[in-house]
Chain A
Amino acid sequence: MQSVLLVLLGGALLRLSLSGAYQNYVKPGLGVYLTLSGAILAVLGVWGAVRSGQPAEASEHEDDGHGHGPGGTRAAWLLLLPVLTVFLIAPPPLGAFAADRTRSSIPPPADSAAALPVLPKPDPVDIGVVDFALRAVWDDGKTLAGRTVRMVGFVTPAPGGGWYLTKMQISCCAADAQPFRIRTIGAPAFATDTWVEVVGSWVPGGGTQRDDAIPNVKVATVVQVRRPTNPYE
C-alpha cells in the first residue's frame, strides 16, 4: 500500500522539477537532482507494488507494512502533507511578509580587494537587486555612477512612506532566505508584493561600507511585470 505513497511523492517531485515550479522553494541548481530523486522514488514505488502484488510476497508485506512499534512506518503517511500542500495550495514564493521580518544585511563581496567588473553597455543594463546593492554599498557605487540600470523585484513598504524594491536571496531553500532592499525615489505607489521592473539610476545617500546600508535608486520608469520563474537570487 505504501508503494502508492512513493509513486505519489515521486510524481510530485517530477512535476515540481519539470514544470520549474520548484524554483519557488529551492535553488535552480537542485532541479536535476529533484528530477532524479522523483524518478527513483516512482520506480521504487512501482517495483514495490509489482512485487507485493505477487501472492508469495503479499502476506509478508502486510506484516511489516503497518508497523505498530515506535517509529513504525505509520509516520510515513505524513509524507502526504507536503504532496497535498504542493498540489492544493501551491504556496507562492516568499514575499513582503518574510522580507519584513528580517533586517537588511549586505555582506561584503567575496574578494574585497578585486575591483568589481564594469557593467556591460549599452544602457539600460539588466542587473540583479543583490548585485546592485553590493556595488552601491561595498564599492561606493563607482561602477553604477552615470549608468541606467533595469531591475526586477517585488514591492515592500518602506517605513515613512514609499517602497523598497526587494528581492530574496537563497543559498539552498526558502528557509534560509535573506532580503535585499533598494529604496526607490520618485516612484508611483504600488501594492505590496507587486512584481515590478524598475529602470533608474543609482544616487548616493543610502550609506556605504556598512552591511545594514540601504542603497537608493532614482526611478525613471516602473512597470508591473509577471513574477519571474526564479523569484530568488
Chain B
Amino acid sequence: MGLLVLLLSQRWIAGLFDGHPALQAFATIFVAICVQAMPFLVLGVLISGAIAAFVPPAFWTRALPANTALAVPVAASAGALLPGCECASVPIAGGLVARGVAPSAALAFLLSAPAINPVVLVATSVAFPGRPMMVLARFVASLATAIVVGWLWARFGRAGWMKPSPRPDLSGMHRFDAFRTSVQHDFLSAGGYLVVGGLTAAALNVLVPREWLQAVAGHAVFSVLFMAGLAVILAICSEADAFVAASLTQFSLTSRLTFLVVGPTVDVKLIAMQTGAFGRSFAMRFAPMTFVTAILVSVAVGAWLL
C-alpha cells in the first residue's frame, strides 16, 4: 500500500527537484557517493564476516606481536594488502577488535589500509605524472600517521571510550550461519552510517563556495589547513582523491599532500561510520587526534620529500 502511494507520487516528487539545480546536484552526488561505496563496503563486510566466522581468535595472537608497540606498525603495514577504500576498512577494523586484536593495532590498520594500498598508490602516480616523489610522500606520510595515531591510542587511549556496536552473538551457530549473520549485521550498520556521511558530504559539496579556494591558495599556512578541511568535507574516495588534488594546481604540493593524507583517515563519511562502529565518545576523540597528526606528519614529510 505504502509502495503504491510512493509509486503514484513519483512524478510529483521528481517534479519537486525540477528547476532546482542545487537540489538535483545534491541528490546526484549523494547517490554517487553511496553507489560508489557499495562494492567496497560489500568487500569489507565479506572479509570481516570471514574473519568472524572462519578465523579462530588464536590466529591473531600468533600473527601479531604481543607487544603493542610492535603490533601497531605491523598492522599498519598490513594495510598495504587491502585493495579498497575507507568504506571497506571500517567494518574490518570493527571485526578485528571484536576478535580480540588490540584496538591500537586495529586502528592503525583502519587508517593505513585506504591510503597505502597499491590501487591508491597507482592512482596517485597517474594523477601526478612526472612526480614520483608525491607517491612516495603519500605512502610515507600515511603510514607514519597510522603508526603515530596507533601508538598515541595505545599510550593515552582508554578502553571506556571505545564502545563497539553490539554485535550478534555468533557462538554456537553453524559457521556459515555465523558468516551470514555477521555480514548482514556489519553491512547494515556500516551502510546506515555511510548514508549519514554521504548526505553530509553531498550537502557540503553543493553549499561551500569554491571562491574560498582562490582566497587562501597563496598563503602557506592557511592553504595547508584549508586543504585538510576540504578533505574532511568532500569525503572523496581514496582511489579518486589524487585526481582532485592534482587539479587544484593553485595550491602548494605540501598542502595537496595534506589533502591526500587527511582524506582517507578523517572525513565526514568516515567519522559517521566510525561513530557507528565504535561509538560517539570514540569518534569525538579519535577524529580530531587523527586530523592533527595527519596535518603535522604531512607538513614534515612535505618539507623533507617535496
Q: Does A161 contact B (CB under 8 A)?
A: no
Q: Does A115 contact B (CB under 8 A)?
A: no
Q: Does B210 contact A (CB under 8 A)?
A: yes
Q: Does A13 contact B (CB under 8 A)?
A: yes
Question: Would you give the shortest CB distance from A73 to chain B, in whole angstroms?
Answer: 5
Q: Give the residues in chain A near B277, CB-CB below 8 Å.
A: 71
Query: Number of contact residues on B: which range applies?
Result: 35 or more
The reply to whether B195 and A174 form a contact with Cβ atoms under 8 Å apart is no
Q: Does B275 contact A (CB under 8 A)?
A: yes
The reply to whether A172 and B39 form a contact with Cβ atoms under 8 Å apart is no
The reply to whether A88 and B210 form a contact with Cβ atoms under 8 Å apart is no
The reply to whether A41 and B6 form a contact with Cβ atoms under 8 Å apart is no
In the complex the two chains form, what is the Cα distance from A9 to B195 in whole Å? Answer: 13
Q: Does B202 contact A (CB under 8 A)?
A: yes
Question: Known contacts being A22-B35, A34-B38, A211-B249, is A176 close to B243, with CB within 8 Å?
Answer: yes
Question: Would you give the shortest CB distance from B277 to chain A, in whole angstroms?
Answer: 7
The reply to whether B192 and A79 form a contact with Cβ atoms under 8 Å apart is yes
In the complex the two chains form, what is the Cα distance from A33 to B166 in whole Å? Answer: 30
Interface string of A57-97 (1 = CB under 8 A from B): 00000001001011111111111011011111111111111
Interface string of B222-266 (1 = CB under 8 A from A): 000000000000111101111110111100000000000000000
The reply to whether A85 and B33 form a contact with Cβ atoms under 8 Å apart is no
The reply to whether B196 and A97 form a contact with Cβ atoms under 8 Å apart is no
Q: Does A30 contact B (CB under 8 A)?
A: yes
The reply to whether B31 and A30 form a contact with Cβ atoms under 8 Å apart is no
Which residue of A is nearest B94, CB measured? A71
In the complex the two chains form, what is the Cα distance from A47 to B188 in whole Å? Answer: 15
Q: Does A48 contact B (CB under 8 A)?
A: yes
Which residue of A is nearest B191, CB measured? A79
The reply to whether B28 and A91 form a contact with Cβ atoms under 8 Å apart is yes
In the complex the two chains form, what is the Cα distance from A84 to B10 in whole Å? Answer: 10
Q: Give the residues in chain B near A111, CB-CB below 8 Å.
A: 129-130
Q: Does A25 contact B (CB under 8 A)?
A: yes
Q: Does B36 contact A (CB under 8 A)?
A: yes
In the complex the two chains form, what is the Cα distance from A48 to B185 in whole Å? Answer: 11
Most buried by B among A6, A72, A96, A176: A176
The reply to whether B196 and A178 form a contact with Cβ atoms under 8 Å apart is no
In the complex the two chains form, what is the Cα distance from A129 to B214 in whole Å? Answer: 25
For the residues of B in contact with A, the DSSP-based class is: helix
Question: Known contacts being A70-B280, A91-B24, is A175 close to B201, with CB within 8 Å?
Answer: yes
The reply to whether B184 and A82 form a contact with Cβ atoms under 8 Å apart is no
The reply to whether A174 and B29 form a contact with Cβ atoms under 8 Å apart is yes
Q: Does B293 contact A (CB under 8 A)?
A: no
Q: Does A187 contact B (CB under 8 A)?
A: no
In the complex the two chains form, what is the Cα distance from A230 to B279 in whole Å? Answer: 40
The reply to whether B36 and A25 form a contact with Cβ atoms under 8 Å apart is yes
Question: Known contacts being A96-B21, A107-B249, is A89 close to B42, with CB within 8 Å?
Answer: no
Q: Does A3 contact B (CB under 8 A)?
A: yes
Which residue of B is nearest A210, CB measured? B249
In the complex the two chains form, what is the Cα distance from A40 to B189 in whole Å? Answer: 17
Question: Known contacts being A73-B192, A171-B243, A175-B33, is A94 close to B28, with CB within 8 Å?
Answer: yes
Q: Give the residues in chain B near A93, CB-CB below 8 Å.
A: 28
Q: Does A151 contact B (CB under 8 A)?
A: no
Q: Does B215 contact A (CB under 8 A)?
A: no
Question: Would you give the shortest CB distance from B252 to chain A, in whole angstroms?
Answer: 15
Question: Known contacts being A2-B188, A91-B28, is A79 close to B195, with CB within 8 Å?
Answer: yes
Question: Known contacts being A96-B21, A97-B22, is A75 close to B192, with CB within 8 Å?
Answer: yes
In the complex the two chains form, what is the Cα distance from A100 to B196 in whole Å? Answer: 27
23-52 of chain A: CB within 8 A of chain B: 24-26, 30, 33-34, 36-38, 40-41, 44, 47-48, 51
A171 CB contact (under 8 Å) in B29, B184, B205, B244: B244
Q: Does B126 contact A (CB under 8 A)?
A: yes
Question: Known contacts being A16-B35, A171-B243, is A24 close to B28, with CB within 8 Å?
Answer: yes
Q: Does A209 contact B (CB under 8 A)?
A: no
In the complex the two chains form, what is the Cα distance from A38 to B34 in whole Å? Answer: 13
| Additional A-B contacts beyond A75-B195, A82-B35, A92-B28 (18; CB < 8 A) | A25-B36, A44-B184, A70-B279, A71-B277, A71-B279, A75-B189, A75-B192, A78-B193, A79-B188, A87-B10, A91-B24, A92-B24, A107-B249, A110-B129, A171-B242, A175-B32, A176-B237, A176-B241
